[in-house]
Amino acid sequence: MASRRVPRYLERLTPVNEAIQIVTSRVKPVEETVEAPVWEAIGLVLAEDVRAPHDFPPRPRAAYDGYAIRSSDTPGRLRVVGEATIGKVDVKYRVEPGTAVYVSTGAYLPDGADTVIPEEAVRREGDYIVVEKEFPAGKNFDPVGAYVRKGQVLLPRGYVVTMLDVAGLLDVAVTRVKVYRPISVGIIATGTELFEPVDPAEAEQRILRGEVAETTAKLIEWAIDRYTPWTVVEERILLPDNVDTIAWYLTRQMRHLDLVILTGGTGPSDVDPFYQLAEMLDGEVLFRGLFVKGGRPTSAMILPGGPLVLALSGHPVSALHGFIRLVYPVLKHMGNVVRGVEPPLPAIAELAGDIRAKRPQPVKVKLYLEDGKLYAEPLPLERQHSSVTVSNCEADGLAIVENRQYQRGERVPVMIYREPGQKEGEKREEA
C-alpha cells in the first residue's frame, strides 16, 4: 500500500530562536516617525531619548503646607501677608523681614524666602504666626532642578510610553515626544467550516450542526491589543479555504500593511496551501513549521513589495503559543521596541505537578496562591490537547515550557488570564 506523502512543512521543523532570527534578519524595523503630544503617545515607541527641556522645578517649590519665611527672622512673631498655592505664581507677594507667606504643597516660593516652616510647627494668632524656636534655611522645599536637570534623559529611545510615563513627563513640562508610527496588521481567519457568531440562538444551532465559531483570530487581535499597543489591527476578516481568495486579499486589500497574520488552514494536507500561496504570489517562504507542540504549523513568508505573512494554527491555544513564541518578538523588532509594557509571560510560578515535554509547548494550568507563592498545577493530560478547547475554561493560565522534563517544585513562566484561585483541596474542605 502506498504511504501518504509527508507534508512539506514536516520535512524540517525550525527551532523557535532560529525562526525569530530568520524573520528579524529579513524584516526591517519601521523608520517613519511623528511628533505627538505626550498624552497621545500612550502605547507608542519612543524614536529618540526624551530629555528634560528645563531644570525642574524652575523655581524653589514647597514640599509641605506651611509658611515661607526668612530663617533669620526666627524665632519671632511674623505677619502673614498672603498665600501662594499650587498652580499659581503670585508675584505680588515677597517675603520681607518680619513677614511670612502661606504656601501649599507644590507651590512656588515667593522671592525673599529661604525656608518653609510646617504649619503645625507654628502658632497662628490672627494675621500673625509665632515661631518659638530658630528654624534653619533650606528646609522643606525643593530647590531649582531638584527633580530633573535640563538635558537629563527621562526615557530612552525604544521604550513604550505608559500612562504613568505621561504623568511623569507632564509633571516636568515635557509636552511633545517623537515616536515611531504604529505597525499596521491585518488578520485573516481561514476555514470553510468557520462562521462569525452574531445571534446567540443561531450560533448555538450552527455549532450543534458541526460548524465552528471563529475565535482564534479574535484571540490574536486581543493579544496584539493587550501586549503590543504599538501595533494597530486595521482589519480582521474571515475567508473560506480558497487560495485564490486569500491571495486576492493579500495582494489587494492588505498589500499596504506591515504584517498579515493567517489563522487556520495551515495544518497537514497533501496540497499545502501555504506553499500554494507562495508560488502564486512569488513569495519567499522563510520557514515552514515550528519545532513546538501546539503551534507546529506556524510559518513565515515575505511577499515582494508587500507585507510579512505569519501563519498560525487554527486552534486558539496553539495560535496563542505561536503569538508568544514568534509574533510578539517579531512585533517588538518591527516596532524598534527595547522595553515594552506588560509582557505575555509576566509571572513565574512553581509547578505543583510534573511535566514531560518533547517539544516546547503550552501547558494549561490552574493557578493558586499559597503563603505568598504562585503555584501552577497542570490540567490532566487528556485535557491538554489543543482540540479540547473547552478545557480552556478549567485553566487559569498557560505555562510555557521547553522540550525537557519538569518536576514538581520547578519554576516556569506563565501567562495569566484569570486571577489565581484556591488550591483544589481547600475548596473541597470549605464545601
The label of the residue with cell 484571540 reads 219
pLDDT at 79: 98
Q: From 3.40.50.1820, 2.170.190.11, 3.40.50.1970, 3.40.50.2300, which CATH number describes the 61-142 domain? A: 2.170.190.11
Q: How far apart are CA 273 and CA 241, in angstroms?
A: 9
List, for residues 403-412, the tens digit of each pLDDT value.
999 999 999 9
Q: Return the H-helix or E-strand segment holding 216.
A: helix 216-227
Q: What is the mean pLDDT of the chain?
A: 93
Query: What are the boundaries of each domain within the chain?
Result: 8-31+181-334, 33-55+147-180, 61-142, 347-430
pLDDT of 1 reads 36
Non-local CB neighbours of 253 within 8 Å, separated by 6+ positions: 186, 235, 237
pLDDT beyond 50 at 155: yes
In whole angstroms, give the CA distance from residue 65 to residue 140.
9
The grid coordinates of residue 36 equal: 505627538
User: Are 109 and 68 in contact, with CB atoms under 8 Å apart?
Assistant: yes
Q: Write the CATH number of the domain with boundaries 8-31+181-334.
A: 3.40.980.10
How far is C-alpha 316 from the chain's CA centre?
Answer: 20
Confidence of residue 260 (pLDDT cuts 50, 70, 90): very high
Q: Does the domain at residues 347-430 carry the CATH identifier 2.40.340.10?
A: yes
Torsion, Cα 368 370 376 382, to 10 degrees, reads -70
Of all helices (H) and strands (E), which one includes residue 378? strand 373-378
As a whole-number percent, the residues of the chain with pLDDT over 70 amount to: 94
pLDDT tens digits, one per residue of 99-133: 999 999 999 999 999 999 999 999 999 999 999 99
SS (H, E, C) 175-212: CEEEEECCEEEEEEEECCCEECCCCHHHHHHHHHCCCE
Contacts of 428 (CB under 8 A, 6+ apart): none
How many Å apart are CA 298 and CA 19, to the nearest integer? 10
Q: Is the pTM of this model over 0.85?
A: yes
**Helices vs. strands in the chain: H and E counts, helices first:** 9, 27
**What pLDDT, in 10s, does the model give residues 267-305?**
555 567 889 999 999 999 999 999 999 999 999 999 998
The answer to whether the beta carbons of residues 108 and 59 sit under 8 Å apart is yes
pLDDT at 428 over 50: no
By three-state DSSP, how is residue 138 classified?
A: coil
Q: Using CA atoms, how far apart are residues 218 and 381, in angstroms rounded to an integer?
A: 26
Has residue 6 got a pLDDT over 70?
A: no
Q: Is the pLDDT of residue 371 over 80?
A: yes
3-state secondary structure of 61: strand
Q: Is the pLDDT of residue 2 over 80?
A: no
Indicate if 61-142 has the same CATH topology as 8-31+181-334.
Answer: no
What is the per-residue pLDDT for 7? Answer: 59
The answer to whether residue 144 scores a pLDDT higher than 70 is yes
State the Cα–Cα distance between residues 376 and 399, nearest whole angstrom. 8
CATH number of 33-55+147-180: 3.90.105.10
Among 133-142, 262-271, 385-394, 404-413, the minimum mean pLDDT is found in 262-271
Nearest to 249 by CA among 197, 190, 166: 190
pLDDT at 68 over 90: yes
pLDDT of residue 77: 97
Run of H or E residues at 287: strand 284-288
